[in-house]
Structure 1
Amino acid sequence: MYSDVLNTIGFFNDWERLLFEKEIKLRYVNKNEILLQKGNIAASVFFNLKGSLYQHIKNEEKVEIIIDLHPENEWVLNHGSFLTQQPANSTITSYSGGIVLELSIQSIHYLIGQSLSFLQLNKIINTAVSRIALFDNALTPREKYIYVLDTRPQLLQEFPLKMIASYLKITPETISRVREIILRGKSFY
């Protein structure tokens, strides 16, 4: 049943799916529950079955900066900490409460040792890098918003505009203007 999440990353036979089912942990999370605290080492990846999660930091002024937003049916991890096994520089928190599947790094190693098909789990790490495209390409606020509309529209339904603006590194006022201009069909920037 939970092995269906493997369809998001590749093909696995029935035996491999059974192995995965034995290693995955079902976890119910409350609203505002922390899955990974800044300063701790990321020892797991999560698949968000229900609810919304987000990654964030606080700047020098103690203002929360959104690093990433995770709606349902997405893999979630702190990329840097998980790969390097160094302390995380951000926190992963449940925004709405929900259900996640948790797969530990030890379980990943065990699964790969049992079947090389589990090397496909590396695709989880690759998806965590997708956010970089937003900022490496020096996109305008309009282009960033259109990127979200085109690639992750569920964010607009699950998170408040203020969080989306922080994620896109634009002000809430700018995102409101961009939305209005797009709705009116005008060009911007």
Structure 2
Amino acid sequence: MTEEITMFTQVSNSLLQLHPFSTVELGLIKERLKLHRLKKGELLLREGQVCNGLYYLDHGSLTQKRNGDGEAVVTGLFTPGDWLMDNRSFVSRRPSNTSITAFEESQVFELDIDAIHELIGISQLFFRLGTLFENRFDGVEEAGSLSSIDEKYLLLMHSRPKVLQTFPLKLIASYLQITPETLSRVRSRIK
């Protein structure tokens, strides 16, 4: 029970960064969270499934990939404290074109779509949960707007250092949409 309270404290702190939810409101969210324990390589979301939840990564790490021209392209790298989902699939209720996989043994809290609708039925305040994903760093989109590869790497280094500490060069390079060789050169220049 103490472990569960500690875990929810991290989710609560993350939610409180979004909005000053009351203790009662946080309790309503907590009652609806589902805990998933994933083994390394286990899928949280399979390509072709509809994404039915918002996920909070409590511990471990996850990758999000989409197949493109015969090679998987990394669209997300997640470390503890990150919220994630396939936004396009969740909103449109269409099958996902990405998969989310445990890079290592991981633990994830899910707030599924039925729970979200229930919460919105209780209070319109819970519409704010959607802004979690408007403010979430998306390296592919945000880094894509930068002009230099060095800027892309520096943005990742300053905004999400745990990604650089957790994932291998090849995955980080795919996430930044550059080759591993280019990423090696950038890292050498920046050090």
Normalising by structure 2, report the TM-score: 0.89
Aligned to 1:121: 129
In the TM superposition, residue 138 of structure 1 has moved relative to its aligned partner by 4.5
Distance in 2 separating the partners of 1:138 and 1:18: 40
1:65 corresponds to 2:77: no
Whether 1:175 aligns to 2:164 is no
Q: Secondary structure at the residue paired with 1:21?
A: helix
SS of the residue corresponding to residue 149 of structure 1 reads helix
CA drift at 1:13: 1.0
Aligned partner of 1:7 in structure 2 is: 16
Tell me how far apart the structure 2 counterparts of residues 127 and 139 of structure 1 sit (CA, whole Å).
Answer: 21
Aligned counterparts of 1:168 and 1:24: Cα–Cα separation in 2: 32
Q: Distance in 1 between matches of 2:185 and 2:142?
A: 23
One-letter identity of the residue aligned with 1:158: T
What is the TM-score with the length of structure 1 in the denominator? 0.90
What residue is the counterpart of 1:165 in the other structure?
173
Q: Give the fraction of aligned pairs with identical amino acids, expressed as a percent.
A: 34
Alignment match, 2:142: 133
How far apart are the structure 1 equivalents of 2:135 and 2:38?
23
Question: Residues 42 and 88 of structure 1 are in contact (CA less than 8 Å); yes or no, is this contact kept in structure 2?
Answer: yes
Q: 3-state DSSP class of the match of 1:64?
A: strand
AA aligned to 1:16 is E
Q: 2:44 matched to 1:35?
A: yes
Change in Cα spacing, 1:42 to 1:128, as seen in structure 2 (3 Å) is: farther
Does the 8 Å contact 2:43/2:99 carry over to 1?
A: yes
Partner of 1:8, secondary structure, is helix
Q: Does the CA-based 8 Å contact 1:79-1:128 persist in structure 2?
A: no
Deviations 1:41-65 (A, max 9, x none): 111110000011111022232x221
Structural RMSD (CA): 1.4
Q: Which residue in the other structure is 1:110 paired with? A: 118
Aligned match of 2:30: 21
User: How many angstroms apart in 1 are the aligned matches of 2:129 and 2:104?
Assistant: 26
Aligned equivalent of 1:74: 82
- Where structure 2 has 5 or more consecutive residues not aligned to the other structure, the ranges are none
Determine the C-alpha separation between the residues in 2 that align with 1:151 and 1:41.
29
- Give the letter aligned to residue 12 of structure 1: F
| Distance across 2 between alignment mates of 1:162 and 1:130 | 18
CA distance in 2, matches of 1:130, 1:160: 18
- Describe the shift of the 1:181–1:167 C-alpha distance in structure 2 as closer, same or farther (beyond 3 A): same
- Say whether 1:55 aligns with 2:58: no
Query: Runs of at least 4 residues of structure 1 off by over 4 A?
Result: none
